[in-house]
Structures are given as structure tokens and as C-alpha cells.
Structure 1
Amino acid sequence: TLEVQPGESGMIDIRVADTGCGISEKNLNRIFDPFFTTKGALGGGKQAGTGLGLSVCYNIIQSRGGRINVESSPSEGTTFAVTLPSGEMATAVCEGEVGAGGAETDVGSRDQRILVVDDEEQIRDMLRDFLGAQNVTCCCSGEEALEACESQLFDFVLLDICMKNSSSGIEIFRALRQCDPALKIILCTGNLPENIPPEVLESCHAHLLKPFKLDDLCATLNSTVEA
């Protein structure tokens, strides 16, 4: 069922409820985390899932000055409650007169140029939206990343070293490092540290193990800028 009604202080309340299988308590606190899924190989279900749908929704709603909450019980269904600004309040948020809330990377304000290298389109889109599209370039392969680095300068690279239809991620890392020794490369990958060559771990600026939280990425970027 879908319910929409006026909220308080120029907001609008939206409730979406179902009578499905519900969400277990242990999963309820993680459903907005990037890459967390109960579907497919990652979650043990039959259908494939990337674990990005609700995370993208959460960040879009936060960026628009809203909030989203969820209530669920196994075998009883799930209810999502979304609150968004409407009318003049929505206009004020879009024009920056009212703070939108949510995580602040503080990186875009310092004119940092960021290259995102990942073969998953949803991940690229999510990171672009989170980081601010103005200073972000996205590539779907290591070869594209090398071409981008040859044509312009970047301050950061967020690199997945385990990509399909691409050269070895480790070789791409080494080529990027050779192209620009000062480049700050952050590994965003599902590879455990023990599966990454020691010299790569030592020369990268950080290693974020998927699934990671956007707050962790934010903290990593800001600490790297300040280093």
C-alpha cells in the first residue's frame, strides 16, 4: 500500500507497506549499507542483487533534505516511511538555502579531482552522486582509467582491482602509480588484504574492503587530504 499526506513544517510524508516475508532484526540495521544484500551469491538467495538499491535511495533522500525509516517483522511485512521537503522548503533545499543533511565528504569543496574506476555501473553512479559529480570522473575499466590519467590530472583514484573484462587490477594499479607517482590511490575492493601483493598495500593510500559504508569512505578521503 502507498500513503501520501502532508507532514510538519513544509514536509510531506510517504509510507510504503507490503505484507511480504519481512526483514529479520539482524538485517534491519544493515539494509541501507552499500553492497549489503540478502539476494544471490552475496546473500544466499536465488535472485541476483548488488546491494545498492536501498543505499542509493537513502543517499538521494538525504541529499534532498529528507529521511527514511523502516519497520519490519519476519512474516508480517515491511513499511518504509519517507519524509521529504515540499513546496518552498524543497526549493530552498535545492538552492542551498536550507541544509540537506547527510554525510559531508568535504572533498569537493577543496577542488579535489577524483577518478572512480569500477565495472559496476550502479557503484559508479552511487559514488558520483555521493562525491559530487562536478569533480568526479568515472571509468568502467582499467584501460579507460589509464587514458583518463594521461589526459588530465587527478588527486584521488578509487580503484576496484577485481573487475571483469579488464586487465589485472594489480597491473592497472602499478601503471597508474607509474603514470603519476604522487597520485593518491584508494583500493575499494572485495579482495582481502592477504590476497593483495604487499608492495601494493604499502604504496596505496588506503584499502576499503567491500562492502564498506559511505561514512567510512568519507572519513578515508578526508584523512588522506589532511595527511
Structure 2
Amino acid sequence: MRTELNPVEGAGRIVLAVILGLLIWISAIDEKVFPVEYRIPLEVDVPGNYAALSVSADTVALRYTGSGWDMLRFQLGRSHEDLRRDFVPAEGSEMPLDSNLELSVPALQPDGQVQLSQVVPGAIFIKVDTVITKMIPVAPVFSDGIPARYRFHRVNPEMITVEGPASIVNLMDSLRTDSVFPGSEPVIASLALTVEKVAYSDDSVTVSVFNPSLPTRSRIFSTVAY
């Protein structure tokens, strides 16, 4: 004989079935290992008397593995920060220096049950150079095409102090300005081209030009006739 269930009993059995299914699902999830990957920015710090000319990567991928609940707790509690590493060249190294910096897994291993399985890339390549300073003369450029050496002019300041990697700074012999119209009033001219990784004591100069009035042809002839 079939027994009819009242609405409360029917709802109770449905809830019980849902709870049982959820417990089975949780148990299965907790036994399964999940891979998770995070890509984060990479910052490489060098001492103040050195400059990094190039770094082969600016981000890294961190690959973690862990069971369901452990991985969930790890993801909820994880702070998203940049990965920072220090690089100090060996004393007496010839510059510029090409070297590599390993990103070891043990050093980045998190606390808890989740494990860091791989860092990609496992090492980065870096090129560094010593930082030097140098005084470089300013070469104004005039819009009429006449070279600065053929006209009376004054530049303030005449020299700019630059600071940067030796392999770059040593190749700099003058600093050109933007095109300047040779008028009677002093004008402020910006440096035409600045080099990346080089710091400048000034980014503009004041250019004063003296243009003496030249005699016209008629005045020359009248002077000769006289």
C-alpha cells in the first residue's frame, strides 16, 4: 500500500537529498587537485650606483596546486603584490654586465597546504651598467639653418649635467635644442632629444642671439663712390 507524503515530508526529503548531494560533491572536490596560475609584475632593484639597461621580463607566472578547499582558502586570503628581487653585481665586474637572476621556487613557497609548483620564467636575464655624471655643452639649432658657430649667441646654461649609464653617457658629446628663431629677444628652447635612462639637470635653456644689421648693396655702392 502506497503512503502519501504530506508537503512537509516531501520538502524534507528534497532538502535531505540536496544536502547529501552537496556533501558528496564537497568530498569529491576536496580530493581533487586544482592548478591555478597568477601573473604578477616583476620588479628588479639594483644599487643606486648602477642602472638596469634591460630586463628580459617584466612579469612572471606563478603556478600553484592544491586541493579544493585549500585552494579556495588560498585564493580568498592571497594578497596580489608585485614580485621584487634585488640584483647586486659582483665587485670588480666588467661593465656593462650581462647576467641572469634565478627565481627559485623554494624562496616563493607560500604557507599552508597549497604548493607553488613552477615559476615561469625560472630565470631572467639582466644587463646593468655603472652610473656616471658628465657635463655636456648645449648646441642651439636655428630655424634659418645657419650653424650656431657662425653667429653671435649666448646660451644659459651653456653646459647641462647628465647622469646615467656609462655606456650611454660616454657617447653624448652635445645636446641640441629645438629649432630657435634668431630674433632680438632671448627665447627659451627645450632640449630636442632626451635619452631614456638619462637624467638631465635642465630640460631647457635660454638662447640670446645678436644679429648685427648688415649694409645693403646700395649703401655699399654709395660708400665706395664717396
For the superposition of Structure 1 and Structure 2, which TM-score range results when normalised by the shorter chain? Answer: under 0.3
Give the structure with the larger helix fraction.
Answer: 1
State the TM-score, normalized to the length of structure 1: 0.19
Give the structure with the larger strand fraction.
Answer: 2
State the TM-score, normalized to the length of structure 2: 0.19
